[in-house]
Chains A and B, each alone.
Chain A
Amino acid sequence: MTKILDEPRYACALGAAQTVQAIYRAVPIFHSGPGCAGRVSGNSGTGYLSTNTFPCSNIGEAEVVFGGEGKLREVIANSLKVIDGDLFVVLSGCTTEIVGDDIVQVVGEFEDASKPILHVNTPGFKGTNYEGHEWVVDALIKQYLSTLPKGEKIKGLVNIWGPVPSHDPYWIGDFRELENLVREIGLTPNIIFGEHRGIENLNNVPLAEFNLLVSPWVGLQNVQLLEEKFGTPFLHYPTLPSGAHESSEFLRAVAQFAGLPPEPVEQIIARHEEEYYYHIERNVSVFFENRTASKMFSTVSTAHRALSVAKFLVNDFGLMPNKQYITENVPEKHKARIAQYFKEFNYNIQAEAVFETDGYKIHEQIKQEYYAGPPLIAGSIFEKKITKELDGNFICISSPFSQKVVLHSSYVGYHGGLKFLEDLYTGVYQTYN
């Protein structure tokens, strides 16, 4: 069968550098060609570090012929002198893996360095950036957290995992919203990614009372490893909650897992829902008195985002799903479970999850489907053109992401649901209604 990736929606394993970068003052060191960092940095922008500040061995012809371990050694040694960081993670690229450089050996020589230096084999041909993310978190657990002195568990401390920095531009807003939700019911969220968290939050990971994974599959192996290493139980909650219905379900599930009394949680939920439906009520006419808002939808995105948006649109907003296209090359072992998640909407509504990385085939399929009028397509920027051709409503929720700027907003939580409707209907009202 022809292996063809038309309009790639994911990066390669080396894209896990974004995961390192998202830990404040952690420094990815690329053992790769000069262009890899730029290619896999997606939406990570400029932060404390940026693409062109990442130490990199900038492998050239000489290293392909003679090996690049010497160059890597120099770059690591001098990174420690030049870059003001707390943690360094060496990531290998395709070329250095093919020529057989041994990064484990080279990093091993820095055992006594002043800062922790980790290594992760992330050649692009071996996996996607989502798998690379898991490998990096595994490396943090095995090579760093496991070496820390054992500490007492902290009551109420919850590590939150799920969003993958920064390929999905909503990652930071999503984390902050999850954090707010968890905090509101009286727990203490601990997230290692984002502004000024960094090594301090990372060091607290083994001390959490439980791990909360909000994702269909990415990170599952990480929370399992954390359980194995530190005896921390985990709650695997597959749906990133968006809108009132899902956010309330989420709060109940987390509270129950944490053994919190239900009554105060129900009060918090009631307050949120009152506010949420105040805004919904004010705008009902916006949603339903127009000519061109679509009635059925497809998502074209990661399992994580697709499930989140689909649950919101079906269980909260009352739309009907067509096929849901899952594009991030999900590992085989997770597929059946993920497909099942899309069969568990309210009123026994079911959607078919289509695991497809070939954008062309997705578009051809969308053209064949019946949407009771033009479709709503929630996808990457690659779906803009096809949606326009079909006269549908388009909302960009997924990478590659352009023509829309996301600073810190999120579609997660009660506010996130409203934000989604704002963005969706801003699009709807670009045509005459």
Chain B
Amino acid sequence: MHAPDGFLNAGTAVATGAVSVGTIGVALRQTREVLKEKQIPLAGIAAAFIFAAQMFNFPVAAGTTGHLLGGALAAILLGPHMGSIVVTIVVVVQALVFADGGLSALGYNVLNMAIVPAYGGYALYRLFRRVVPKTGGGVVTATGLAALGSVVLSAMAFSIQWLFGATAPVSFAEVFTAMVGVHFLIGIGEGVISAMAVGAVLASRADLVYGASDLDRAQLADSRKVPIRTFAIVGLLAALFFGAVVSQFAVDNPDGLERVAIDTGFVESEEDHALGNSIFADYATEGLENESLSLAIAGISGTLITLAVGWGIFAAVRERKPKQPASV
């Protein structure tokens, strides 16, 4: 996901840069009010944790591995403002110190890898929390689904920026289908790992999970009753929705997928390409050449992302008001 310099055009880089700086500025102001200097070392070490968490390779299938992106996980563990700041710092340091991702690409890298997954993921988390039971298991389930969704949102955000700032004649529809398709698969891994990681934290230090601060001890202890079945049902519904909606736009173009796969580091060896291709090889629908249709997809997903990010920020700001965390 770390895009290099010159990947999108300069106008897009500047516009996304302005959005990122503005959002992080708001987040910094919000956290400064709540957090004392006490949180600085804490936030720093949490940032190191997210940085390091990206090194947790988890198995996907047949021995291939993916790694955690951590945006939603950070937002649920630390709160969306702190989460987005922490992941932004990770992305900025990766560019400045490790030359991973271009300095002129920071605007869209921060937006896609920190702001959209943290606020969007948190908004989804709040949304899912309304349908799952108010238990530790519910928190774990909502975390998994929100983490999955956050990765897909971030892929959508990248595709929309491509629509405006493409530097290669590859159509929006192709990029969108390939990005969202691959990231849905990556997101499954992200969701499973994030959910289990939050579960592990809940089991021993439930007070550290920001997203579960509205639950009391007894509710948290009630952890094993629901999750698997709810998770399976909601996950299945999400998959059906994804299959029904997104496959309409599917492009029968394995190269596009392969490209995105390399781009995201989802695959690291030749065998992985083969795997990626075989999953999508049967998509029969022809690609969209129709410009107005791709603009429509872009518009819809843009609205979704904006809604999710906006709601995430709103939910985060509102929660602060009552001292005792409000139950949603």
**Bind each other:** no
Interface residues of B (CB under 8 A from A): none
